[in-house]
Structure 1
């Protein structure tokens, strides 16, 4: 006679959300995107095969988690003060507060094509905040080719700064908001 554990229901009504939450927790606890679907399922309290009902692969789970990161980053951009310095502080603040998520979003653990249409739109909207800030700063229309060049330069600068900060490679004098604001004002 086998004993069945009835403390866990067979049907999990919020399985997709539970898997996303478990995967996000694993990402942020371990600090890297090398999480397995098996570990994610264990954390969510379901069988490993249950993950495949919502995610075809680890990459699709990671893309969904990254999509949620873009929602958070976009919210920070929306709440930031106007201008390039506000964009920079929001971006750096996100990297400091959620380093593993930041690495996942920009580190290549998933293909951009794996993001859902909605997740891609969120990422595009976050990028649009940068384009608008650069256009306003340069007093140019957003579709001017100079705006794209400046936006990529600003993003590269802020992203590189964030990576150096996370890797503890910046001198103390270069780690202040004032230093970042001064760098961004020169673009």
Structure 2
């Protein structure tokens, strides 16, 4: 799948956008080496400023990392939405709803493999995202974060009569845990060296299993 849309890091910054430049530098570091690579001093070096300049916008390393993490979640949301577009054009409501749920899973698994550093940063230890106030940085074009996109797909299943309403409560966590587990097996576990065709086939079977199980 194509790289998720996020701006490349700048080597210098213009007056007034140092915060954005530092986030871009942090995203570049995360893309290269995951969450542990997001170091405040290195981000300021890449942004072309002295380390102390970062404290005008970020109180500490964690504040910068939280901003990078939010942007990584936004990139994941964009990747999911890209997969959802074809499903959204289907005329039959039940078929469209099933395709939307599968698209969320494909976007998630594809992002984990194509943007592994950002994926790891997005789900590094931090606050419980479901309970945080809305943050545009964590969303895609629809204004929804990845968790909300999954909820949107599950709601569509209910509206189309595919998923019984009484089985809807908590379904996000069941679907999410299954697909996230597969993502970790692929990027960090025993499937990391499996042929791409095998990983793709297992992903498709998993998504079908999730829908059937729900």
TM range (shorter): 0.7 to 0.9
Which residue of 155, 158, 163 corresponds with 2:179?
A: 158
CA distance in 2, matches of 1:20, 1:120: 11
Within 5 A, what are the aligned runs for 1:34-183? Answer: 34-79=37-82, 80=84, 81=87, 82-108=99-125, 110-112=126-128, 117-119=134-136, 122=139, 125-138=145-158, 139=160, 144=165, 146-170=167-191, 175-176=199-200, 177-183=203-209
Gaps of 5+ in 2: 1-10, 88-98
Deviations 1:59-107 (A, max 9, x none): 1111111111222222223232342211110111111111111111112
2-structure distance, mates of 1:168, 1:61 = 29
Structure 1: stretches of 5+ with no match in the other structure? 1-7
- Contact (CA 8 Å) 1:55, 1:61: kept in 2 or not? yes
- How many residue pairs match? The answer is 177
After superposition, the CA RMSD in angstroms is: 3.1
Tell me the TM-score normalized by structure 2: 0.69
Cα separation, 1, equivalents of 2:47 and 2:12: 12
Look up the SS of the partner of 2:49 in the other structure. coil
Please list the CA deviations of residues 37-57 of structure 1 after superposition, one character each: whole Å capped at 9, or x if unmatched: 111111111000000011111
Distance in 1 separating the partners of 2:149 and 2:30? 27
CA distance in 1, matches of 2:32, 2:101: 32
Are residues 38 and 9 of structure 1, via their aligned partners in 2, closer, same or farther at CA, if it must alter by over 3 Å? closer
Look at both structures and tell me which one has the larger radius of gyration over its CA atoms: 1
Give the drift of 1:133: 1.6
* TM-score with structure 1 setting the length: 0.78
